[in-house]
Structure 1
């Protein structure tokens, strides 16, 4: 894939997101176009989306802790230190929205961005450049949502790094789902109003994030046995 093709796909996805939002299509246009894009990748690249046989030969707990702590740290800092109201919370708890946010979007976005676009970029760019370019594109398609764009970018960088390290699409989907689950919770308000000092909570979160990051970084994974 050439860089121009990547940016054309991002522009197309942004336009589709605009149409979906502008005409109140409730995600149906986004989901339909994502499925068609995946079908296109399947036909063009002849690479299966999922492999049935895979091994979870990594320390899952560290990945989970990193996502949870990073979510808490980011929104505690931006919301209560810098008085920024960018908490990712979903008010519409209809069944379709829950399914869409917790299942459909994580699967479709991870398959398109990590499984196909990221791996395509790594064939023409360095891994670092590929991660940064992809994350900018991933952030761009969330521009018209109520998401914190900096948070989306940083999380995409992490998910992309994890995918290149593990080659396990199941893992990034699971982490994406976990992050979206956190957006349905009131965890940030609970932490901010707890009797524990906010500074102490932030320090603990930073320590856990650093610890889990180095554990993930040093985790030896057999990428050939994981579901690509």
Structure 2
């Protein structure tokens, strides 16, 4: 193929792209192109002409190299088009992968809603990393059967609560049987981007609870939560 023929092929391809873009525009589809639409088409056409002339100069006498370059760029644009078209699917896969690598990792949903995905752990449990009163990374078992958020003695101390001054006068049921807990109010509880303030909670007696529980005094602050595909999704209110 001669360089002149290559130029016409390139200009034809770019011109076709300009025509497709114009036809996909709302103005062309409705037959109501305004001055701005015409200006955009003229600008794109001029850009296509200048690009073709530049390519012709770069590859003068090297039609083979030019064809290889065109094929490479077409492959790149095709790949980018596929990525853009399926960007939401790729994002969902990325969130699932991140959730499995980092349990409790906060992720931003494609709809803008605040979401946290929690992968299923051993025994079918869901453990999420929670920030309590500034103490980060407190592991909590998501317990939809617990009426309140319950902190173990160790986690309560991490959150700056003076456990020794609490009155343990609230009876609670644990896996080890009946126990006593103390009522407290937490200034801030956050799971990733989901934040709740002034959360009523309980602190278990030392040794009564091995893991803190994320119960309904926090879960009821959410817009919703569900389990799908082995992953628990917590959705914060927007």
TM-score of the aligned structures, taking structure 2 as reference length? 0.23
Q: Which has the higher helix share?
A: 1
More strand by share: 2
- Larger relative contact order, structure 1 or 2 (CA cutoff 8 Å, min sep 6): 1
Q: Rg larger in 1 or in 2?
A: 2
